[in-house]
Amino acid sequence: MSWSRVIGTAITASGLAFIAGTLGGGVLASGAVDGILPDLPVVNRVLGVEERQRVALLEEEAKRLEEEQARLEEEAAKAAEEEAAKAAEEEAAKEAEKAEPKAATGPKPKPRPKPRPAPAPTVPGCTSGALTSAPASGSRVEIVGVSKDDAFFSNKSDYIGAVGTTSGLSKSDGCYFSGSIQLDDGRSPYFYQVAVKRSSTSAPSTSSGCPSGALTSVSAGDSVKILQVHSQDAFYSSRSMIEGKSAVANAPSKTEGCWWGGTITTSDGTERYFYKVALGRGSSSSSSSSTASSSTSCPSGALRSVSSGQHLKIARIHPDDAYYTSKSGIEGKAGTNTGLSKTEDCWFGGPFIQDDGTERYFYKAAFTSAPAVSAGDGCPAGALTSSRAGQRVRVLKVHSNDAYYSTRSAYEGQSGTVVDVHLQSGTGCFFGGTVKLDNGNEPYFYMAALGAL
């Protein structure tokens, strides 16, 4: 109900009561008003102008109060909206502050030093510190590498790290040298390709003086007596079984003073390679002289010239060769000349591949002719007669003379890439060498026919 209606009703009721009282002489019975109410025109006349004005003012005031209430409600709603908006802004600001990383406080961390690059080797593929120019004879060196083409490569761990004195190294390739090094442990190997670096160590002092009667001049084939084994020699621990024996100096070389190195054959037929041994004059011995002579002389039928690719038989290994101590498992083997050159007379040095695939590099070995390899059951159709490293090929046939012949089904028909092969002399189409197959195998063939892909 509006304020105007409430006030109007109140005024009307009071006015009627006043009129009724006046008309009734001050006393109004119950229900008198109901009888008077229908006569509204009369009421209006009685109220008069003043009363109507007062009613109008009250109605206007009621209207103003309604408008004021509406305004207050509107302002309250607006204030609530502003308060909600402000609260939302404050919440958003808090969330943004949490998300933003705080600036680091305290001292700034020191920048990390840049790692220094490792020094590059002098020559690509060479151990750092390896010499690239030949050291002078008598230089102190440490062995840091042995080439895969060297005869000592298979047991290179016995030499790498060993220290000794050079006795004439010559440049071979890159940081590799060929020649002899007299090691401090008594060994005196002759290398084809060895890498060395300078050593600051001093040569071990001589703890043994020259014994009485020691020779200072000895020639190959001389009959001698082993007087004393030096403390630096590998045979020093077993000297009691050696000293005093008669022997023949097969290929002596002076180490220093009265001390000799090289191969010496004792009267019981045992050959030893000494680093430092003192020798005295011995009595002639036909048996030991014969042994020495047979070791250093050219065998019957030894060739004085050979050609590349020629099929040869290893007739004899000289005592100066690194393979001499294992000659029993090498002499008599056949193979192919892949780069031999004459050392002297009938002796040749250089690379050689045996028919079983073993690669060797000789210093002094004598050879005789070997029968040309038979082509067996003939060359298959499409077989190559020449090949090169990196060529893509297919294995057409494994020869019956090849070690892989019994398992040829695992190789014939396989494709791969030539690593290093050579045509076997007299076969026409059969190659020896390494082929890297696509299935991961890398066989070394003695005789295999290859076709181009």
Q: What is the pLDDT of residues 15-70, one digit of tens each?
A: 544 444 444 444 444 444 444 444 555 555 555 666 777 778 888 888 888 888 88
- Beta strands, E only, 287-442: 311-317, 334-337, 341-344, 347-354, 359-369, 392-398, 415-423, 430-437
Q: How far apart are CA 337 and CA 327, in angstroms?
A: 18
CA-to-CA distance for 110 and 261, rounded, in angstroms?
Answer: 63
Q: What is the pTM of this model?
A: 0.30
* Band (322; pLDDT cuts 50, 70, 90): confident
Please state the rounded mean pLDDT for residues 280-289: 59
Chain center to CA of 175: 22
Six token digits for residue 241: 């079984």
Q: What is the mean pLDDT of the chain?
A: 79
Q: Please state which of the ranges 154-158, 311-315, 368-372, 394-398 shows the lowest mean pLDDT.
A: 368-372
Q: Return the exposure string of 115-125: e unless at least 16 CB atoms fall within 10 Å of the residue's CB, then b.
A: eeeeeeeeeee
Confidence label for 105 from pLDDT (cuts 50, 70 and 90): low
Q: Which of 89-98, 117-126, 220-229, 365-374 has the highest mean pLDDT?
A: 220-229
Residue 223 confidence class, pLDDT cut points 50, 70, 90: confident
pLDDT in tens, 403-434: 888 888 889 999 999 999 998 877 778 999 99
Residues 6+ apart with CB under 8 A from 152: 146, 158, 159, 189, 191, 194, 322
Sign of CA dihedral 401, 404, 406, 412: negative
Nearest to 287 by CA among 248, 327, 328, 245: 248
What pLDDT shows up at residue 101?
Answer: 56
Which tokens belong to 433? 């060498």
The two tokens of residue 153 are 């490569």
Q: Return all residues near 8 (Cβ < 8 A) that are at least 6 apart.
A: 55, 58, 59
Distance of CA 18 to the CA centre of its chain: 121
Q: Is the pLDDT of residue 290 over 80?
A: no
Q: To the nearest whole percent, how much of the chain has pLDDT over 70?
A: 77
Select the more confidently predicted residue: 29 or 280.
Answer: 280
Across the range 357-372, mean pLDDT stands at: 85
Q: Is residue 219 pLDDT above 90, yes or no?
A: no
* Domain ranges across the chain: 3-78, 140-198, 223-294, 298-369, 392-452
Phi, psi of 54 (to 5 degrees): -65, -35
At residue 77, the pLDDT reads 86
The per-residue pLDDT for 314 is: 94
3-state class (DSSP) for residue 364? strand
pLDDT over 70 at 285, yes or no:
no
436 touches 397 (CB < 8 A): no
* Amino acid 39: pLDDT: 52
pLDDT at 40: 53
pLDDT at 391 (0 to 100): 93
Q: What is the average pLDDT across 331-357?
A: 86
Q: Which of 95-104, 232-241, 305-314 holds the top average pLDDT?
A: 305-314
Q: Report DSSP state, residue 383.
A: B
Q: Average pLDDT, stretch 74-98?
A: 84
Q: What is the token pair recorded at 412?
A: 């014939």
Most confident of 91-105, 277-291, 344-358: 344-358
pLDDT at 402: 82
Between CA 226 and CA 263 the distance in angstroms is 12
More confident residue, 267 or 141: 141
pLDDT single digits (tens) 387-406:
999 999 999 999 888 888 88
Does position 184 have pLDDT exceeding 60, yes or no? yes
**197, β-bridge pairs:** 142
**For the chain, what is the radius of gyration of the CA atoms?**
59
Query: Under a CB-based contact definition with an 8 Å cutoff, are residues 141 and 181 in contact?
Result: yes
d(C-alpha 309, C-alpha 386), whole Å: 13
Predicted pLDDT at 113: 60
> Is 333:314 a contact under the CB 8 Å cutoff?
yes
- Higher-pLDDT residue of 357, 195: 195
